[in-house]
């Protein structure tokens, strides 16, 4: 039984890796007011449905692919891009892999989970942006640009989880 579960999670991890890469490339513009990618929405789904070891393995694979030059990130490739302004967000991707999924699995608990994932990513990212740019103003501007998209993706992710839970 454990072998079947491992195979199932391995297949899910492969599919989620594809979705994560795709999500980084899909840039949505909501009326010129809010612009965001689907990367963290898909990341939240990955983390909601995969066990922790698979989360860390998948995120490590994703980051390694980008570091070696495969275009999986939203804005660039390679070590120099990885260690530039988005490094804090990448660290947030890894740190948020440790957030536990709470029971019961309803809409409210899914909102809390996705909010925690986005919160960790944003906090790590904004701290690094401020340090990298030597500017708290740049950090605040980045924060104000990504926060609306994070709210939208938090509720979208919770809605997806809730809908899939109701279909069971």
- Domain borders along the chain are 2-24+35-167
What's phi and psi for 34, nearest 5 deg?
Answer: -125, 130
Query: Please, is 159 exposed, middle or buried when counting C-beta atoms within 10 Å of its C-beta (0-12, 13-18, 19+)?
Result: middle
Residues 6 or more apart whose CB falls under 8 angstroms from that of 156 comprise 41
- Tens-of-pLDDT digits for all 168 residues of the chain? 567 788 888 888 988 999 999 999 988 887 666 778 899 999 999 999 999 999 999 999 999 999 999 999 988 999 999 999 999 999 999 999 999 998 777 899 999 999 999 999 999 999 999 999 999 999 999 999 999 999 999 999 999 999 998 887
Give the pLDDT score at 33: 66
Give the pLDDT score at 5: 84
Q: How far apart are CA 22 and CA 140, in angstroms?
A: 28
* 26 within 8 A of 74, measured Cβ to Cβ: no
Q: How far apart are CA 114 and CA 16, in angstroms?
A: 16
Give the pLDDT score at 32: 64
Domain 2-24+35-167 CATH assignment equals 1.10.1760.20: yes
Query: pTM for this structure?
Result: 0.91
Give the pLDDT score at 20: 92
Give the pLDDT score at 36: 86
Give the pLDDT score at 30: 76
Chain-centroid distance of CA 145 in Å reads 16
Cis omega before residue 104 (within 30°)?
yes
């Amino acid at each position: 039984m454990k072998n079947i579960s491992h195979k199932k999670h391995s297949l899910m991890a492969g599919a989620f890796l594809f979705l994560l890469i795709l999500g980084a490339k899909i840039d949505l513009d909501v009326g010129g007011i809010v612009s965001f990618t689907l990367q963290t929405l898909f990341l939240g789904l990955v983390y909601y449905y995969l066990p922790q070891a698979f989360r860390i393995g998948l995120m490590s694979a994703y980051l390694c692919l980008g570091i070696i030059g495969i275009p999986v990130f939203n804005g660039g490739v390679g070590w120099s891009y990885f260690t530039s302004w988005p490094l804090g967000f990448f660290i947030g991707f890894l740190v948020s892999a440790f957030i536990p999924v709470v029971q019961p699995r309803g809409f409210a608990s899914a909102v809390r989970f996705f909010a925690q994932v986005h919160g960790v990513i944003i906090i790590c990212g904004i701290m690094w942006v401020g340090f990298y740019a030597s500017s708290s103003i740049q950090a605040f501007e980045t924060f104000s640009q990504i926060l609306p998209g994070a709210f939208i993706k938090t509720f979208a992710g919770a809605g997806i989880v809730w809908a899939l839970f109701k279909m069971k």
